[in-house]
Structure 1
Amino acid sequence: MMKEFSLYEVSQSILTNLRENASEIVTGSSLSSPRAVGDAVQDYLAERGLEEILSSYGIDVSSEFGRRAMEDMAFKDSNGNYYAVDVKTHNLDTEFNMPNLISVKRLATFYKNDDRNNFCILIISYRIMNEKIEYVNCHFKKIESFDWSCLTIGALGWGQIQIANANNLIFNDSMENGRRSWMLTLCDRLSSFYEEEISKIGERETWFATIRDYWERK
């Protein structure tokens, strides 16, 4: 009999698996590079770790995605729900970390296309201890489980959802009408964000009008 699928249970299995098998997947000077550690952890999970864990649920994992894809890995559960997984690693010894999650337009389109689509963030926190990676925590959450108090919107393209500070993650798994409420809050935040961006553009246009005037008079 297959186990009942749970993102929380999977996250704890991932943490155990990493601690037992992946503390030395990066060595030497590369340990000081968050990018090197992040790439190594992602490769390990794609090639072995997540596949081993999800096989106990009868789930196959796909990891052949391009650099511009929103997911690093993906899978479907027994009910046909699709999980697009974005892997993030976070060095707890860094004072400030503000990772991008996803474009607001890409997320809105993904969720509008099919209610069974889920965009998930797999965040693995670690420290470097005695020339090894010490895995401290693992969160595997749908993006709508992230409380808006720990998120922000960055001015890239249509807008980019970001974690305001990876050292301060706040989750809200019990929100009533979770996805609907979360997406409506996103729309409210974008309305305010776009108003601020329009105001900034107006200020820039005014400033460059003075530059034009300067050069026309010169």
Structure 2
Amino acid sequence: MVKFDQFINVIHSAVQSANEALMQENLKLLETYFEDADESQEMKASLDEALDSIEKILQQTKPTREVLQQALKSFSGARKALENEDKPGTTKLAKSLRAKTVALQFPEQSSNGITMRNAHVPLISLVPVTMAQVSEVKFKTPLELQVENDELIISFSPTVSESKIENQHTVASIEITITPQASAAGLKALIKGYDNLLRSQIPN
């Protein structure tokens, strides 16, 4: 036997887990349409250069030594924050991504006749993006119901017949429909932006 609210929570958690698994698969689409821009590694290199410069200045005895020591400490902390502790030498910042593109040629009328013009087309504007999600879950089963300490308690009754379900008030059938929240419109806006970029390159 189980409390009714616990029963609902278990079903809800299962649906959430399924959606999270699908979300991880959907995130792999980023590898299809985007590539690493390597900006985070450039940032780390800049910090390394700044640290080297400060260390050289600290070798001199100047009145601003204390201030520079504090600056060195700050830069060291910033660099440490960038490093991935699990993989030394790599950054744990989110990667900057850029859209993968292909060069396609379009005919264009010019004073010299028809010429071919290259347009850099984002793959995300060419290949349809399909993302899966759990849209609806229905759970229906015969349950035995009873109240204990002002709490609704349920138990599964696999052997209960349909006639018994109809004739006994202590047995019920429950149907639960769970619909997840709608996906954010960010992806649509992103694709629209790349579509506009593509249209600006295509000759009229």
Q: TM-score, normalised by structure 2?
A: 0.22
Higher-Rg structure is 2
Greater relative CO (CA pairs within 8 A, separation 6+): 2
Q: TM-score, normalised by structure 1?
A: 0.21
